Amino acid sequence: MGLGKTIQVIALFCYFIMKGITGPFLVIAPLSTLPNWISEFKRFAPKRRKKKKKKRDLITKKVKIPEYNCKTCPIVITSYEVVIRDTRILKKYFWRYLAVDEGHRLKNHKCLLVKCLSSFSSTNRVILTGTPLQNNLSELWALLNFLLPDIFDNLDVFESWFEINDMMEEGSEQKIVQQEKEKQILSTLHKTQFKNSFLELNLHLKVKIIKNSEDNFNIRNIMMLCRKIVNHPYLLQYPLTSKGEYKVDEDLIRSCGKLQVLDQVLEELKKRNHKVLIFSQMTKLLDIIEDYLYLRPQYKYKRLDGRVKLEDRQVDIDEFNNGNEYYIYLLSTRAGGLGINLTSADTVIIYDSDWNPQQDLQAQDRCHRIGQTKPVLILRLVTASTVDQEMVERATAKRKLEKMVMKKGAFKSLRKIDENIDPEELLKLLQSRDSNRIYRASTGSGIFTREELDQLLDRSELMRDDGESSSVMKEVKGIFKTITNVMK
């Protein structure tokens, strides 16, 4: 989230070592963030000799520790996977402090990682996360249970607190979860502007694909089919040439409303010297966007997903951040949405949304974080009257749940918001009046007019009257674009 959690932990460990508390300290983080943790330790706490009589070196280890003396190697940085694999080794040590980065990974109290970490002996535990509440109250309880198992030992009791007004009002002054407001922490940053771009999808394509597939797929698969249709029809069937190779031409763009919008927006952003992050849930969709970039060789880009090796990730990030050679960074929301710093970019395009709104929030904060010096514009592409819009609406409901839980006051009947759409909902969505309308593509050189494009990409609202950056983060809603997508 870019709130300075990493540097706070580094400062805390350094303070302990300075006071003679030598550790050991354990940091558990996602694999993709390990290079960032190591580079931040090297930056703020490099290996050096102290002037005091008791000389100590601050050294970080990346994977696991042999029989090191705590005074020589007090800090261990490792990944979730190594913790699970080497639990037998790591639980032999008594950890002075155990820090879990992106701690919402522990939201399932029955998962293997939680069981492994719970077996570790430690004096203190801390969870680092900008999104402690994601889907429901049970996930928040799981985090609190890991930190304070003796206090938060019963989920039913915890959930009952949010149904009794008097209990909440009485205990509201004593906060157990400390939620720092971004407008306080990010006081030196420019604002961020969030705009939704709604697209209209031709009904004929939806009916044709789903009708041909309804006998072979269950409702979950149909829902995924719907998502693929609105993201790009080539996800279902990529056309081939006479030689059996993928056909990569301008039809790739013309066949998808979202890609048409992306093409026009990227062209204008390039002229204005912006740098762009493009997030998607699907690696196959990133493949298609790469094919599109093959048609636009003037756009140099990097890519990060689960297939990129750890040692290559930091190299690519450094190359993207240092200099203006690379214009676009393609990222998988799950692999590239946590812990990395891409503040050289000032525009985020969320091509397709996640059921969990916190995943998208984490993604957009790769560039809107401490160190950002420019106003940040966030664009989300949403196809109206489809599963796309349904996902965004449910994500909005989850955000409301988060705000209610974190806000002082009373709460009533907070229920779990399901991610799945049942068959009746899906049928109702496909048969809705908006979905049954037939739209005609507008003529012209682009999806947007000059005036519409300027309004979409305008960042003037993110600056104060004196031209300086505003200190308060702002989310602008209500700027929608209706785009026609007609399949031939």
Structure tokens at 257: 């409303």
What per-residue confidence (pLDDT) applies to 125? Answer: 92
Rounded CA separation 363/63 (Å): 26
Residue 109 has what pLDDT?
A: 81
Alpha helices (H) in 346-438, listed in sequence order: 357-364, 387-406, 423-430, 433-436
Q: What is the pLDDT of residue 400?
A: 62
Note if the pTM is more than 0.85.
no
Supply the pLDDT for residue 170.
45
- For the domain made up of 187-485, give the CATH fold: Rossmann fold (3.40.50)
Distance CA 307, CA 300 (A): 20
Q: What pLDDT is stored for residue 426 in this prediction?
A: 52
Domains 5-183 and 187-485 share a fold: yes
pLDDT of the residue at 294: 93
Phi-psi map region of 263: left, alpha, beta (phi>0 left; psi -120 to 50 alpha)? alpha
**Closest alpha carbon to 27 in 113, 114, 95, 121:** 95
Q: Where are the domains of the chain?
A: 5-183, 187-485
Sequence-distant (≥ 6) Cβ neighbours of residue 44 within 8 angstroms? 7, 10, 11, 14
Q: What does the pLDDT read at residue 61?
A: 41
CA atoms of 217 and 220, how far apart (whole Å): 8
Provide the CA 71 distance to its chain's centre, in angstroms: 37
Specify the pLDDT at position 397.
67
Task: State the Cα–Cα distance between residues 133 and 414, nearest whole angstrom.
Answer: 13
CA–CA distance, 472 with 192 (Å, rounded to integer): 9
Structurally, what CATH architecture does the domain formed by 5-183 represent? 3-Layer(aba) Sandwich (3.40)
pLDDT block averages, 10 residues each, the chain of length 488:
78 87 87 83 65 33 44 78 89 90 84 90 88 75 88 82 50 46 50 54 50 49 82 88 86 89 91 91 91 93 86 86 89 74 86 79 74 81 78 69 53 46 54 40 62 81 52 38 34
